[in-house]
Amino acid sequence: MKSKVLTVLTTLIVGCATPMPMVKPTQADVDRAKTKWENADLASLQLGYTIYSEKCGNCHKLYRPAQFSEKKWLNVIPKMAAKANITDNEQQLIREYLLTMRENK
Residues 47-66 close enough to bind ligand HEC by CB under 6 A: 55-56, 58-60, 63
Q: Is 97 in the site for ligand HEC (CB under 6 A)?
A: no
CB of 84 or CB of 101, closer to ligand HEC: 84
Length of the chain in residues, anyone? 105
From residue 10, alpha-carbon distances to 5, 64, 95 in Å are 9, 22, 34
Q: Is 77 in the site for ligand HEC (CB under 6 A)?
A: yes
Interaxial angle between packed helices 27-34 and 42-55, expressed in degrees from 0 to 180 and rounded to the nearest 10: 100
Binding site for ligand HEC (CB under 6 A): 55-56, 58-60, 63, 68, 76-77, 80-81, 83-84, 86, 94
